Amino acid sequence: MPERIFNFSAGPATLPPEVLAQASRDLVNYRDLGMSIIEMSHRSKDFIAVTEQAEQLLRELLDIPANYQVLFLQGGASTQFAMIPMNLLGAGKDKKACYLNTGVWAKKAIKEAKLFGEIDVAYSSEAEVYNHVPADGDYQVDDKAEYLYFVSNNTIYGTQFQSFPATHVPLVCDMSSDILSRPFDIRPFGLVFAGAQKNMGPAGVTTVIIREDLLDRAPENLPTMFKYRTHADQGSMFNTPPCFAIYVVGLVLEWLKNLGGLAAIERINKEKAALLYDTIDRLDFYRGHARRDSRSLMNVTFNLPTPELEAKFIQEAAARGMSGLKGHRSVGGCRASIYNAFPREGVEQLVEFMAEFAKNN
Ligand code: PMP
């Protein structure tokens, strides 16, 4: 068995080996300070520099304008499902927002938002097992909506918006499973958030990028920890931040910058995904779950002729050092998650195995 296997997990997901090596060195002795990165005060100048560096790299990579704040929060992406409507619907007279239901993560966000306002679900692909995302003309956005909420990449179903909704209201987006995988213009967005554990680093930190004018929409009586303003004013240090996770995110961002940034990683991601989709389309044996116009570069979902063959496929792949290929429990089938850090050689090995398995079965 090789030391590291090809890990197709949907998240927490594979990270660059050089990042892991650096993190393990710094875990014992950070920059010869004689202490670990996780033992120092979050208010020390060394750790503040780590946070500032991570923010700076993120600003650079995503080309974030000065009128946006970058926050590093806890509670996972799921906490944002509630924090967004709590803050952004708070002062709106109509307390209205528009949501696109393109999967379980969108649906969970809708459920939370309904606790705080009037939520218009302008589109749903639930009846088709979320096999696609809508195009602009497929839904209407209420003029009174404070924002349009959508999930750019639907991790479970392997669908992804190829372009972002064009609308007059601010966009709010869950980019947990595709942030930093391709360049995009953040200016139409009021808020973008992402849990780190797919494309950015380990679990434990959620990045929120919020336009400054949205910071003060929260009602007065919102608890301090739930106000974006609190975290924005304190440089994400109102309380102890998830130090280690932020530090590893910084290393991942540095790795990405050295690789050539988002244009370079998008090229690599497209090549990796094409290898898999070409195999699915070429061999009659496999059936892709996502509609072609909605296919994700990050999560490639497919079925085999029977659940028994799927189980055999997953088992044989694991025996060859390819793990994490089982689809999400809610849809079954197979899923290859190939985020930024997933190596091309792993995809090449998988498509080779797919061809062989189709021939032998
Ligand atoms: N949104 C998306 C798109 C996800 O894929 C996930 C997790 N897989 C979540 C939200 C939930 O993230 P967390 O577990 O950090 O709350």
**262 has a pLDDT exceeding 60:** yes
| Residue 265: partners with Cβ closer than 8 Å, 6 or more residues away | 180, 181, 182, 256, 259, 340
Burial (Cβ within 10 Å: 0-12, 13-18, ≥19) of residue 199: buried
Q: Residue 300's closest CA among 264, 269, 266, 267?
A: 269
Among 274, 255, 250, smallest CA distance to 265 is for 255
Amino acid at 138: D
- pTM (two decimals): 0.97
Mean pLDDT of all residues in 234-249:
97
Q: Under DSSP, is residue 48 helix (H, G, I), strand (E, B) or coil?
A: helix
Instruction: Give residue 217's pLDDT.
Output: 92
Q: What would the pLDDT profile of 97-119 be if each residue is shown by its tens digit?
A: 999 999 999 999 999 999 999 99
In the chain, % of residues over pLDDT 70: 99
pLDDT band at 7 (very low <50, low <70, confident <90, very high): very high
Q: What is the pLDDT of residue 138?
A: 97
Instruction: Answer yes or no: is 206 a known binding residue.
Output: no
Ligand 1 mean position to 115 CA, how many Å?
Answer: 20
Q: What per-residue confidence (pLDDT) applies to 329?
A: 86
The alpha carbon of 79 and the centre of ligand 1 are apart by a number of angstroms equal to 10
233 is catalytic: no
Ligand 1 center to 105 CA (angstroms): 7
Q: How far apart are CA 286 and CA 304, in angstroms?
A: 5
Protein residues with CB under 6 Å of any ligand 1 atom = 11, 76-78, 105, 151, 155, 174, 176-177, 195
Return the best residue to mutate from 84, 101, 102, 176 for the ligand 1 pocket (most ligand atoms within 8 A of CB): 176
Nearest CA to 71 out of 249, 199, 219 is that of 249
This complex has an ipTM of: 0.99
**Confidence class of residue 224 from pLDDT cuts 50, 70 and 90?**
very high
- pLDDT over threshold 50, residue 243: yes
State mean pLDDT over 330-335: 92
pLDDT digits (tens, 9 = 90+) for 158-208: 999 999 999 999 999 999 999 999 999 999 999 999 999 999 999 999 999
Assign 90 a pLDDT band (cuts: 50, 70, 90). Answer: confident
Exposed, middle or buried, 360 (CB in 10 Å: 0-12/13-18/19+)?
exposed
Domains and CATH numbers, the chain: 18-258 (3.40.640.10), 261-360 (3.90.1150.10)
Q: pLDDT for 70-82, tens place per residue?
A: 999 999 999 999 9
Burial class (CB in 10 A: 0-12, 13-18, 19+), 287: middle
Is 255 a residue of the active site? no
255 carries a ligand binding annotation:
no
Catalytic, 105? Answer: yes
**Cα–Cα dist 334/314, whole Å:** 8
Q: H-type helices in 89-119, by residue range?
A: 104-113
Residue 3 pLDDT exceeds 90: no
Whether residue 152 is annotated as binding a ligand: the answer is no
Q: Tens digit of pLDDT for each residue in 128-165?
A: 999 999 999 999 999 999 999 999 999 999 999 999 99
Q: What is the pLDDT of residue 91?
A: 61
State yes or no: 59 annotated in a binding site: no
Mean pLDDT in the chain? 96
Query: Cα of 271 to ligand 1 centre, how many Å?
Result: 25
| 3-state class (DSSP) for residue 9 | coil
> Which tokens sit at 302?
């497919």
Q: What pLDDT, on the 0 to 100 scale, is given for residue 1?
A: 45
Which of the residues 96, 198, 272, 326 is marked catalytic? 198
